[in-house]
Chain A
Amino acid sequence: MFATLAAETVSKVTTVTNDAAWFLENAWIIPLLPAISFALILFFGKRMPYKGAEIGITAVSVSFILAILTGVAWLDHRDHFELEKYGEEQAIAVSDGAASASDTVAYAARFVAAEAGEGGAHPYVAVQSSTQWLQSGGIEFNAGIMVDGLSVMMLFVVTFISLLVHVYSTDYVGGDRRYTHFFAFLSLFTASMLFFVLSDNILQMIVGWELVGVCSFALIGHWWEEKPNSDAALKAFLTNRVGDVGLLVGMITLFFAAGGGKTFDTIKINEAVVQGGVSHTALVVAAACLTAAVMSKSGQFILHTWLPDAMAGPTPVSALIHAATMVVAGIYMVARLYPVFWEGMQIEGSSINLLATVGAITVVGAGLLAFVQDDIKKVLAYSTVSQLGYMAMALGVGAWTAAVFHLFTHAFFKANLFLGSGSVAHAVHSFDMKKDMGGMRRFMPKTYVTFVIGSLALAGVFPLAGFWSKDEILVNTGGWDLLGGSGAAPGSYTFHFVMGMIGAALTAAYMTRCVYLTFHGEYRGGHAAHDDHGHDHEEDAAHAHHGEPHESGPRILYPLYILSAFSILIGFVNLPPGFLAGSKKDPAGWQERFLHFVEPAGSSYFPAVGHATPSWSLAIVASLVAVAGAGFAYYYYFIRLDRLSKQLGESLVAIPNGLTTTNVFARAGHTLLVNKYYFDHLYTGIIAGFTKGPLARAANWINQNVIDGTVNKAGESAVQTGQLVYHKIDQAVVDGAVNLSGRVSDASGEELRAINSGKVQNYAALMFAGAAVLAGAFVILLTL
């Protein structure tokens, strides 16, 4: 079936567009490959020589290559798209984006164009290829893909990270009893996310969104035999369900409100919102509900609690979830439906809104939590929550490109950090920094270098990746503008700017702490027998009896090298104006290339988002703040704690010291953080506890006394009525009639059996008599 499908598409496309666009219109192959790989691994994986890993790696590799080619095709399309090239009928479809594609021919390629004149000679035009799935009640249900800068960027990130995670996993989960199963779900996870980012309608987005959730459930609970792991998987799934209600309500609202109602098409919805044809109330409702969905999926306060627990899954899964797939789905969804938020929350010219505030609180709240974690992966998990807060905040303050760019850079350095932490954990069989790590730089120098690069990128140190994206977010809040800086941001979000600054300091500080606890000081592991080494007890026998941890193998290290290189360099794809201007022929050079290719500025389905002017002073101040945070942590851990440890001759890391032992407020704060702001207590203890305890008892009392009383009363009266009916009506009337008819037939039968003599001649006589009577009657009737 797919062969004919592909052939049809090819013939269609080659007649319409140039060859490079083939990749844009056939991007649906990219998610299809891992989906097929999932089925193949599931059915044939165990019989393959490498237990199915080779199928997954092949599929994702091909997807990766296709994603790169699609990206290249997009760059060409973005810079050279001209309406005239595409003929008359295409131009009609282009000029009227709201009208349905000229006819419902399958695989008609629809180009949604920019307003003429905007965006220079080559407008930003998304390529949409869709086919009708079904039609019901005048509503079209389409299945299709939408390729623009945002989805192309996501295709690249997802396939790239996924490929590295696949390679890494062959070593990391090698020998696991569900090795094949693990790879099958990695494939499905990748396929789901690719499906999600390519979807051209909100219905498909919901499907992709839920598929991603299911896959994360399966992978977080990969080692489900241990109860905490299956609990974590359930928690992730159920917490996401809370937000999914918001997603459904929001999407349904959009379905009915946008574009005259009843369209699932993302572009049509966005266009309707941009053109102002949607009621503001509907947009407010939709934006608020979708924000709830983002809070659960992308781990924003107050629904973030599942995310740190999700660390129960294998480390490669954490890297995949945190860098490329699950948690960025929420951010992507906001970016995709940005007009809804832009208009619904009135982002422009405002100074506060729900999305930005949720993000800002998350930045600082999660950044603080990262300080008190002993588990290296939980530090990174809270770090992810915090960074996602940056992205949500950026979207909330109108910095679309900054948010998406931060998503892009974050994917590389966070995958780097997660895989690095996995490398360390693989060596010491534990994730506990205080008990089992320390001094790891001597044992694992290569992992150490990559981890430090990742940390520097995350902390936003010039000129690594995180610096550029974080700086762009901060400048676009517009807060610096009010505090005396320069720039022209969409709004004036001073509070969010301050939170972002605090977040920058916190990020630098907790990563310094994490690096110290893991890689510096004395090695604290090795004392315990290998009976409680966390999740990674699936390792082969060779690891079980070594005395000292040692460096990981090439299949773990090479992904780390590659990701480190990207963590350093990827920020250069979107240099602000003023850096590395190009030649006279191409004056833009490296400046704002990401913005140019990704942001749909000037297209019909994107609001007119303003961009702040980058500020030198802000960049310097933000860097200083980060350095100050790092410096404080450096002083505390590297110098003071190190010195004290040496003086006492024992490690102070694992016992309380410093401020928390001397200052009551610091201790209270510490307790608050250790208990994660009591959110888990709130959910399981108070909400669930209240439901199970007083609420359940009250419900029981009402049930016993009120409902049961009513029911009993009804039952008793029913019984009485029944008795009455039984004695008076059933026994007397009905039974009487039945008995009477019985008796009548009994008596008449007794009389009539005399006729039944058994003699044939008697019967014949009766027959003749009957015939004679009938004949008589017949004659009489005729003569009448």
Chain B
Amino acid sequence: MLLNQFLLLAAVLFCIGVYGVLVRKNGMLVLMSVELILNAVNINLVAFGTLTDDVGGAVFALFTIAVAAAEVGIGLAIVLLMYRNRRSIDLSEADLLKG
């Protein structure tokens, strides 16, 4: 069973995603990085599901994809509105919460 390979792939994807979320200034790329994180989790779910011969893992992954689609919809709308208001999607400039 190639479980370790799947887990490694998922860990790599997760780390790339986290890096993208924390570092990239472009809102669009941050959203894409979030998708990477989610898909890393999906890989884990499917891998463990196959290992235990349980279809639940795959079903859970499908749910995650559906939720991710909705999340992307909201995320893109936020980015779009941000662009309209500021003519920029640079996250480093969006610091209105500064205390």
Contact = CB atoms under 8 A, between A and B. Distances in A.
B18 A758 contact: no
B98 A761 contact: no
17 contacts: A753-B99, A756-B97, A756-B98, A757-B95, A758-B94, A758-B95, A758-B98, A758-B99, A759-B91, A759-B92, A759-B94, A760-B91, A760-B97, A761-B21, A761-B91, A761-B92, A765-B22
A781 interface: no
A616 interface: no
A759 B95 contact: yes
A758 B22 contact: no
A766 to B, nearest CB: 10
A756 to B, nearest CB: 4
Contacts of B22: 761, 764-765, 768
Contacts of A757: 95, 98
A760 B96 CA distance: 10
Interface in B82-99: 91-92, 94-99
A159 to B, nearest CB: 91
A511 to B, nearest CB: 106
Nearest to A758: B98
A756 B95 CA distance: 10
A756, A759, A765: which has the most chain B beta carbons within 10 Å? A759
Contacts of A753: 99
A622 to B, nearest CB: 112
Contacts of A761: 21-23, 30, 91-92
Contacts, number: 31
Interface in A725-754: 753
B92, B96, B99: which has the most chain A beta carbons within 10 Å? B99
Contacts of B95: 757-759
Given A758-B98, A759-B94, A761-B22, 7 more contacts: A753-B99, A757-B95, A757-B98, A758-B99, A761-B92, A764-B22, A765-B22
Contacts of A765: 22
Contacts of A758: 94-99
Interface of A: 753, 756-761, 764-765, 768
Contacts of B23: 761
A516 to B, nearest CB: 110
Interface residues of B, number: 13
Q: Across chains A and B, which 4 residue pairs bring their CB atoms closest together, nearest first? A: A758-B98, A758-B95, A756-B99, A758-B97
B73 to A, nearest CB: 19
Interface of B: 18, 21-23, 30, 91-92, 94-99
Nearest to A756: B99
B98 A764 contact: no
A765 B96 CA distance: 18
A765 B33 CA distance: 14
B15 to A, nearest CB: 11
Nearest to B18: A768
A768 B92 CA distance: 18
A765 B23 CA distance: 9
Contacts of B96: 758
Contacts of B99: 753, 756, 758
Nearest to A766: B22
A761 B97 CA distance: 12
Contacts of B18: 768
B90 to A, nearest CB: 11
Contacts of A768: 18, 22
B33 to A, nearest CB: 10
Contacts of B21: 761, 764
Nearest to B21: A764
Given A768-B18, A768-B22, A760 B94 contact: yes
A768 B99 CA distance: 21
A753 B97 CA distance: 12
A35 B42 CA distance: 88
A758 B95 CA distance: 4
A208 to B, nearest CB: 80
Nearest to A754: B99
B76 to A, nearest CB: 16
A780 B23 CA distance: 29
A554 to B, nearest CB: 101
A760 B97 CA distance: 8
B83 to A, nearest CB: 16
A768 B23 CA distance: 13
A760 B31 CA distance: 13
Contacts of B94: 758-760
Contacts of A764: 21-22
A753, A756, A758, A761: which has the most chain B beta carbons within 10 Å? A761
B11 to A, nearest CB: 13
A761 B99 CA distance: 15
A758 B99 CA distance: 7
A760 B98 CA distance: 10
B5 to A, nearest CB: 22
B23 to A, nearest CB: 7
A728 B35 CA distance: 64
A211 B96 CA distance: 80
Contacts of B92: 759, 761
A753 B21 CA distance: 23
Contacts of B97: 756, 758, 760
A283 to B, nearest CB: 88
A771 to B, nearest CB: 10
A757 B98 CA distance: 5
A768 B14 CA distance: 12
A768 B34 CA distance: 13
Nearest to B22: A765
A245 B72 CA distance: 89
A200 B15 CA distance: 96
Nearest to B92: A759
Nearest to B30: A761
Nearest to B96: A758
Nearest to A768: B18
Nearest to B93: A759
A453 B59 CA distance: 118
A745 to B, nearest CB: 15
A569 to B, nearest CB: 108
A18 to B, nearest CB: 91
A760, A764, A768: which has the most chain B beta carbons within 10 Å? A760
A757 B91 CA distance: 12
A757 B97 CA distance: 7
Contacts of B98: 756-759
A752 to B, nearest CB: 9
A377 to B, nearest CB: 94
B1 to A, nearest CB: 23
Nearest to B97: A758
A476 B5 CA distance: 128
B34 to A, nearest CB: 10
A753 B99 CA distance: 7
A756 B21 CA distance: 18
Contacts of A759: 91-92, 94-95, 98
Contacts of B91: 759-761
A380 B23 CA distance: 115
A768 B98 CA distance: 19
A768 to B, nearest CB: 6
A768 B95 CA distance: 19
A758 B94 CA distance: 8
A764 B20 CA distance: 11
Contacts of A760: 91, 94, 97
